[in-house]
Structure 1
């Protein structure tokens, strides 16, 4: 392998890692309801297609998140398979996810577990990879009404319990992960 080829391959690994970090930061921002962090992940002219929740400018989608997330007692996005194709300062990704939602509806809670994918386009601008386009694709859905989640189960006794927003235990534990930061 030539030095040039080695450098090209290292650059590609660094680009893939930066995009993978972006994808993981999105899951964290969504689950913690951290809208400032979410804004930092998209280019200002990016598009987001979240089905009936919002289709269009990503910043409009993020503006709607407080309303959308108000009913979410639990959001838990799990990134599984990550497929990324690089092309200079542009890239595409097919990102598999499992997304758990516990939803408040009037006098009850219900669960929706979704298996799906994100179809992403990324662009590197000023040296930083961000989303230029993101669409959710649902492959399956497993609803449970009423909710099957039991955070009072004895198995969880004494455990820290996560929650959306700034009261999540992660903000008191970590020194380097700050709300609103990528």
Structure 2
């Protein structure tokens, strides 16, 4: 295979790990979050530093305090050097929660993931992630849709009942 094509494929594999991590957080899917890291991978979120197992044990209780989240991935720049790569990925993460007084709050966090990737056994995964905070804001939030009586609107969920999983299962049956 042409070297330039291989580098492009390697970069795409790393980018998809960044996207998959966001999906795992927003769907509260521990298996997806674990799947993007090597088993001995580590994470440094500032207030948390540890192994992927420790990260999962820390982050999912934090996510459980929120009604919903959405991690939007922006600029992803990947540099590949053989079986190692690193990336800087911008993100904006929206967290809907209830404040201490019962009011609806949206906290927005913007920052970057600085990832080190390694290809082991032909498979790319994250070996280390560093979370960099660039800015944050909190505002009262309103939701113009009635989630209790949604009508024809389909709302996302934070579990395997999210429409994503049914679509994935349907697509896999069609392509099998």
TM-score (norm: length of structure 2): 0.87
Whole-Å separation in 2 of the counterparts to 1:37 and 1:173: 16
Q: How far 1:177 sits from its partner (Å)?
A: 7.7
1:111-148: CA deviations, max 9, x gaps? 1111211011110111111111111111111211x323
TM-score (norm: length of structure 1): 0.84
Alignment check: 8 A CA contact 1:35 1:65 kept: no
Q: How far 1:168 sits from its partner (Å)?
A: 1.2
Q: How far 1:171 sits from its partner (Å)?
A: 1.7
Whole-Å separation in 1 of the counterparts to 2:170 and 2:76: 25
Question: How many residue pairs align between the two structures?
Answer: 169
Corresponding residue to 2:129 among 128, 131, 134:
134
Structure 1: which 4+ aligned runs deviate by more than 6 Å?
none
Alignment check: 8 A CA contact 1:171 1:177 kept: no
Q: How far 1:65 sits from its partner (Å)?
A: 2.7
Q: Secondary structure at the match of 1:26?
A: helix
Are residues 61 and 160 of structure 1, via their aligned partners in 2, closer, same or farther at CA, if it must alter by over 3 Å? same
Q: How far 1:75 sits from its partner (Å)?
A: 1.0
* Structure 1 unaligned spans of 5+: 1-5
Backbone CA RMSD of aligned residues: 2.1
Corresponding residue to 2:153 among 133, 143, 159:
159
Q: Secondary structure at the match of 1:62?
A: helix
Aligned to 2:56: 62
Corresponding residue to 2:81 among 59, 81, 87:
87
Aligned to 2:119: 124
* Structure 2 unaligned spans of 5+: none
Q: Secondary structure at the match of 1:114?
A: strand
Whole-Å separation in 2 of the counterparts to 1:90 and 1:165: 33
Whole-Å separation in 1 of the counterparts to 2:171 and 2:21: 14
Aligned to 2:97: 103
Aligned to 1:20: 15
Superposition map of 1:26-65 within 5 A: 26-52=21-47, 54-65=48-59
Q: Secondary structure at the match of 1:174?
A: helix
